[in-house]
Structure 1
Amino acid sequence: MLIQNESPYLAHVFICTNDRKGERKSCADGDSQLLKAKLKEAVDAKGWKGKVRVSTSGCLGVCGEGPNVMIYPQKLWFSGVTPDDVDEILSTIERLMSEA
């Protein structure tokens, strides 16, 4: 039986890690796995576990502009993200949490 629930997270961060194995450009070409690991580590270090969830996403349809990161339910989308952008994404999440 279908059960509908409200998300327990203030922000849910999805990182596309789609890998087309060189057939076409994909988010995995831009170190999206490392990006996810760094974001997850930083969220844990900030004590946001249970408030912010970092998850892997499959293809979001714009791998040519990737890696792509989405934050929901705020509907924020970042393209061309690198592991060096983690601090900026964390600042965005921090701002979102203060507004919640």
Structure 2
Amino acid sequence: MAVQKVSPYVAHVFVCTNDRGGARKSCADDNSELVKAALKRVVDEKGWKGNVRVSTSGCMGLCATGPNVMIYPQKVLFSGVSPDDVDGIVSAIERFVADG
């Protein structure tokens, strides 16, 4: 039987890495794996492990505007993300961590 609990994370960051193999636009087309790797590296460097989790996401249904990064429970969505946008995403996460 499932046990319901409160999430242990202040922020859970989902990075879509869905790859349709070129059949249609997908988040993987524009380096979403690099975005995920950079976010994981920053979370580690800042000592946020245990408070912030970066996870791979399958399709969010928003591929036309991807790559997409979604942060919960804050309900924040970043679309059209590139590795150059990681600093801005980290700034948002910093606010969430500070707010606890």
Per the normalisation by structure 1, the TM-score is 0.98
Q: Residue 95 of structure 1 aligns with which residue?
A: 95
Gaps of 5+ in 2: none
Inter-partner Cα distance in structure 1 for 2:67 and 2:47: 25
> Structure 2 matches for 1:70-81, cutoff 5 A?
70-81=70-81
Give the 4+ runs in structure 1 shifted more than 4 A. Answer: none
Q: Residue 46 of structure 1 aligns with which residue?
A: 46
Inter-partner Cα distance in structure 2 for 1:21 and 1:55: 21
In the TM superposition, residue 64 of structure 1 has moved relative to its aligned partner by 0.8
Secondary structure of the corresponding residue to residue 71 of structure 2: strand
Letter in 2 for 1:55: S
Gaps of 5+ in 1: none
Secondary structure of the corresponding residue to residue 22 of structure 1: coil
In the TM superposition, residue 29 of structure 1 has moved relative to its aligned partner by 0.4
In the TM superposition, residue 11 of structure 1 has moved relative to its aligned partner by 0.2
RMSD: 0.6
Matched, 1:33 2:33: yes
Q: Residue 8 of structure 2 aligns with which residue?
A: 8
Letter in 1 for 2:35: L
Q: Residue 83 of structure 1 aligns with which residue?
A: 83
Secondary structure of the corresponding residue to residue 97 of structure 1: helix
Per the normalisation by structure 2, the TM-score is 0.98
In the TM superposition, residue 96 of structure 1 has moved relative to its aligned partner by 1.2
